[in-house]
């Protein structure tokens, strides 16, 4: 049996959704209905697609729609999410507009697919940094109870969309050609080449950024722990694709490095996690590693260490492809989970 599938938005996330659907053999019936703000032909995931201007009638026959458009009032899922669900489709949304709304499930399939029911026809996929962190931490939380999380992120430019990737590439070309490096202040405050920028999304009144608070609120919702202590610092780094995170956790019960590694290496306890951690042979994961075929949908974990400065503390380093597990793959896995549960 196949499903009629729509994709709204053809930036790097929309491109990866099309690629991941194909790679995983998702049962698509007929042609993918690919939509964006205006009609054109475009090469997506190495194949030519007709991109249609999004209109109400295009949703009429669809079973599932993946949203990968811009956020906000003029964004794709605010304008078209309810059109899709009213037409009878499931909406699976990469954007942040509805993630914290009551009644909207916020899903990382390895962690909380079980909360989805027939009433959740608009399902949200979390922020890329949140997804990889909860895949790595949920097994440790189940084993020893997480009391507090301190996380610092090292996030690639692709997390800010196609415009940011083009900006970074242009700066690299300018530098290589010996030309002055230009920058568009509407994308990043300063040139991203050779620098790290500790502002992702807008500043809030208390000095945190919206990205940092997404990690706080979304993690609590996914783990079902509304009071969990979490503090985050989100940093943009000059890497094209792939996010890293330095994570410090305080646990309710002691967990040694060896015990944590045993849990994280066990696919039954830690689905989606791949451990790369061997100081003796200089093995640890980096952003380049998450682009390798064998790791392309994994959350890579390494540098696991006991932290003796707090009670039952652990440090770890966590890496994943923000466009795949941090966005596209997570949404396709949600659709697969709906099929497995007989909901789609
Ligand atoms: N990049 C990441 O790492 C990441 C991770 C997790 C979640 N997300 C979220 O995923 C979404 C897509 O990210 P991206 O990086 O691919 O963004 P992007 O490069 O900005 O691309 C956005 C796409 O959405 C289309 N679009 C915008 N407004 C629309 C509307 N009202 N109706 C229909 N289409 C619309 C655009 O159409 P045109 O091409 O016609 O302009 C464009 O194709 C965003 O919500 C983002 O926050 C991104």
Tell me the domains of the chain and their CATH numbers.
5-125+327-340 (3.40.50.720), 130-322 (3.30.360.10)
Q: Could you tell me if the CB of 158 is within 6 A of ligand 1?
A: yes
Phi and psi dihedrals of 228, rounded to 5?
A: -55, 135
Cα within 13 Å of Cα(343), Cβ side: 22
pLDDT value for 191 = 98
Characterize 102-124 residue by residue with b for buried, 16 or more Cβ atoms within 10 angstroms of its Cβ, and e for exposed: eebbbbbbbbbbeebeeebbbbb
Beta-strand relationship, 313-320 and 47-53: unpaired
Phi and psi dihedrals of 190, rounded to 5?
A: -135, 165
pLDDT value for 235 = 98
How many A from CA of 163 to the centre of ligand 1?
A: 10
Nearest CA to ligand 1 atom 36: 9
Q: Could you tell me if the CB of 24 is within 6 A of ligand 1?
A: no
- Low-confidence stretches of the chain (pLDDT < 70) are none
How many A from CA of 95 to the centre of ligand 1?
A: 8
Q: Positive or negative, the Cα torsion across 312, 317, 319, 322?
A: positive
**From CA 58, how far away is CA 41, in angstroms rounded?**
17
Question: From the candidates 122, 124, 128, 295, which is the catalytic residue?
Answer: 128
pLDDT value for 210 = 97
Q: Could you tell me if the CB of 246 is within 6 A of ligand 1?
A: no
Cα torsion at 212, 217, 223, 224 (round to 10°)? 170
Q: Could you tell me if the CB of 44 is within 6 A of ligand 1?
A: no
Mutate to test the pocket of ligand 1, among 13, 125, 236, 297 (most ligand atoms within 8 A of CB): 13
Whether 122 is a known active-site residue: answer: no
Q: Could you tell me if the CB of 270 is within 6 A of ligand 1?
A: no
Q: Which alpha helices (H) appear in 24-150, and where do they start and end?
A: 76-86, 109-112, 128-144
pLDDT value for 1 = 81
Q: Could you tell me if the CB of 259 is within 6 A of ligand 1?
A: no
Question: From the candidates 122, 124, 141, 243, which is the catalytic residue?
Answer: 243
**Quick check: helix, strand or coil at residue 77?**
helix
Mutate to test the pocket of ligand 1, among 9, 135, 164 (most ligand atoms within 8 A of CB): 9
Cα within 13 Å of Cα(147), Cβ side: 12
Q: Could you tell me if the CB of 83 is within 6 A of ligand 1?
A: no
Whether 128 is a known active-site residue: answer: yes
How many A from CA of 296 to the centre of ligand 1?
A: 21
């Amino acid at each position: 049996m196949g499903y009629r599938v729509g994709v709204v938005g053809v930036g790097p996330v929309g491109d990866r959704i099309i690629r991941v659907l194909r790679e995983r053999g998702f049962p698509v019936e007929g042609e993918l209905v690919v939509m964006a703000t205006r009609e054109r032909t475009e090469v997506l995931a190495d194949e030519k697609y007709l991109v249609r201007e999004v209109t109400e009638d295009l949703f009429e026959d669809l079973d599932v729609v993946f949203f990968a458009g811009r956020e906000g009032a003029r964004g794709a899922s605010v304008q078209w999410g309810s059109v899709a669900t009213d037409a009878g489709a499931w909406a699976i949304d990469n954007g942040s507009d509805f993630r914290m709304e009551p009644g909207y499930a916020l899903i990382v399939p390895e962690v909380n697919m079980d909360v989805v029911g027939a009433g959740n026809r608009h399902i949200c996929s979390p922020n890329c940094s949140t997804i990889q962190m909860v895949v790595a931490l949920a097994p440790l939380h189940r084993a020893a109870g997480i009391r507090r999380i301190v996380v610092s992120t090292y996030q690639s430019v692709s997390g800010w969309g196609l415009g940011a990737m083009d900006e970074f590439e242009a700066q690299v070309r300018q530098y290589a050609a010996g030309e002055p490096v230009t920058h568009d202040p509407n994308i990043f405050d300063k040139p991203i080449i050779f620098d790290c920028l500790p502002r992702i999304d807008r500043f809030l009144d208390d000095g945190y950024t919206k990205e940092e608070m997404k990690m706080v609120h979304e993690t609590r919702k996914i783990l079902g722990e509304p009071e969990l202590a979490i503090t985050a610092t989100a940093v943009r780094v000059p890497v094209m694709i792939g996010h890293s995170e330095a994570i410090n956790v305080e646990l309710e019960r002691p967990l040694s490095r060896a015990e944590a590694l045993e849990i994280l290496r066990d696919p039954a306890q830690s689905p989606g996690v791949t451990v790369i951690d061997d100081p003796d042979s200089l093995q640890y994961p980096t952003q380049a590693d998450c682009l390798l075929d064998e790791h392309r949908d994994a959350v890579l974990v390494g540098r696991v260490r006991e932290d003796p400065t707090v009670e039952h503390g652990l440090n770890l380093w966590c890496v994943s492809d923000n466009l795949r597990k941090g966005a596209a793959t997570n949404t396709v896995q949600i659709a697969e989970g709906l099929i497995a549960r007989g909901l789609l």
